[in-house]
Amino acid sequence: QEKMPKIFTAIILLAGMAIALYVSGNGSPVYALIMAQASSMFAVPLIAIGLLLVLNNKELMGKYKNTLVQNILAFAGFILICVLVYFMYAKLIGYVGSM
């Protein structure tokens, strides 16, 4: 279980490094900032999934484990996050394509 946070961190760092290497050829710091911000949005749904898993773990949370209503609200929030990320990437792809 202790390997998962290290693996997750390595994946995030490698993604950032790959984007930095890709952007370094373009030479535009604005483009680099846009790509860095966009790449961080990949983590948001993953963090939401991690939170849902932890909050539903009876062994870990005990009496504070999520109820059905809380899970429904959390799932609705997760769907909203995914929709927002989708539209952000659709807009970003259009913006990057015009550069």
- Identify the pLDDT of residue 25: 62
- pLDDT, one tens digit per residue, over 26-83 is 666 677 677 777 778 888 888 899 999 999 999 999 999 999 999 999 999 999 999 9
**Backbone CA torsion sign across 43, 44, 48, 54:** positive
Alpha-carbon span 31 to 99, nearest angstrom: 9
Rounded CA separation 85/74 (Å): 16
Q: Which domain holds residue 41?
A: 3-97
Structure tokens at 55: 């909050």
Total domains in the chain come to 1
pTM score of the predicted model = 0.62
With CA atoms as reference, report the closest residue to 23 among 42, 38, 44, 45.
Answer: 38
CB distance 92 to 38 below 8 Å: yes
Amino acid (one-letter) located at 14:
L
